[in-house]
Structure 1
Amino acid sequence: MKKVGLFYGTSTTKTATIAKKIKEAFGDVQIDIIPVEDAWKKDFESYDNIIVGAATWFDGELPSYWDELKPELESLKMKNKKVAIFGLGDQVKYADNFIDGVGILAETFESVGAKVVGFTSVDGYEFGNSRALRDGKFLGLAIDFENQAKKTDERIKNWVEQLKKEFS
């Protein structure tokens, strides 16, 4: 497998924790961690396999560091690149926009030619609506620290095993 670039906001503790767990779950696969706050267009374009992570803030918004980078992302050349997305959200307090950040990022990367991979089942979640849904699946890994923390490690393990196949 080609090396993987993992981009996430290092200033959000829970997102950083999940990113580190994802890297560990990949074992001996080379994963380069790039803080999204420091990322440039060339950083994204230098990987064929990319993982991005973001929490969903407030009523379905990207955190400011992703939001500020979005105009640059919209100019990327991502044809033949695969992007997997993980997102954090609260399906109880924010049931009508659960992990919307995943959907926003998926739309952005697809608009520049990337193929989004790593879709996951909605089984075991209870929420009202999400921009991260397509054909009954999440467009990436959904993590709910507040309400389902005990399921996090297993979800990461299963997702990484799936990505190892999809990134090959």
Structure 2
Amino acid sequence: MKAIFYATSTGNTEEVANKIHEKLDGFELIDISSDGVEKMNDCESIVLGVSTWGEGELQDDWEDCFDDIQEIDFKDKKVALFGLGDQESYGHEFVDALGIMYETLVAQNAKIIGKTSTDGYEYDYSKAEVDGEFVGLVIDEDNQEDLTDERVENWCNEIKNLI
């Protein structure tokens, strides 16, 4: 099974998840606020979308199921991550939720794919930056909405054959 898991508070993450869903064949689209994360157990390929809230925290639905995620065995699972954040207003914790999720999944032996360049972003700090690149696709709908479609297209083309 292949699936895109996401949660949304404002609709932005859902919108990006839908754009990714249109580009990747054979993926089920799952809103964890209604369907939970249990289906991750049955997946060999996962795309996971998170947004950053507050002081660099996970969105509420992800926070609510975080313990469940830590119980899943990600060994032999390919995982591509995407995250949303606001680099201008929250440049000191830009897409930190993406970094939090990355750290958790790596600790559970997930095979992370789809890292992206930090070029074109202006921020002070991000937990999602590891070894000079982002751990997944980064979207800023607040300040760079005009770049979203191109970023999604490029990223999906890059991961299609890997996931």
Q: TM-score, normalised by structure 2?
A: 0.95
Paired residues, number: 162
1:67 matched to 2:63: yes
CA RMSD of aligned residues (A): 1.1
| 2:65 alignment partner, SS class | helix
What is the alpha-carbon distance in structure 2 between the residues aligned to residue 153 and residue 122 of structure 1? 17
- For the Cα contact (< 8 Å) 1:10–1:36, is it kept in 2? no
What is the alpha-carbon distance in structure 2 between the residues aligned to residue 25 and residue 40 of structure 1? 22
Q: TM-score, normalised by structure 1?
A: 0.92
Q: Counterpart amino acid of 2:85? A: G
Q: 1:157 to 1:60 in 2, by over 3 A?
A: same
Query: Where does structure 1 differ by over 6 angstroms across 4 or more consecutive aligned residues?
Result: none
| 2:160 alignment partner, SS class | helix
Q: Corresponding residue for 2:41?
A: 45
Q: Counterpart amino acid of 2:75? A: K
**Residue 89 of structure 1: CA displacement?**
0.4
Contiguous gaps of at least 5 residues in structure 2 = none
2:11 alignment partner, one of 6, 10, 13: 13
Percent identity for Structure 1 against Structure 2:
40
- For the Cα contact (< 8 Å) 2:7–2:13, is it kept in 1? yes
Contiguous gaps of at least 5 residues in structure 1 = none
What is the alpha-carbon distance in structure 2 between the residues aligned to residue 34 and residue 50 of structure 1? 11
1:42-97 Cα shifts (integer Å, max 9, x gaps): x0011111001011001100011101111111111111101111111000000011
Alignment of 1:1-168 (within 5 A): 3-26=1-24, 29-37=25-33, 38-41=35-38, 43-167=39-163
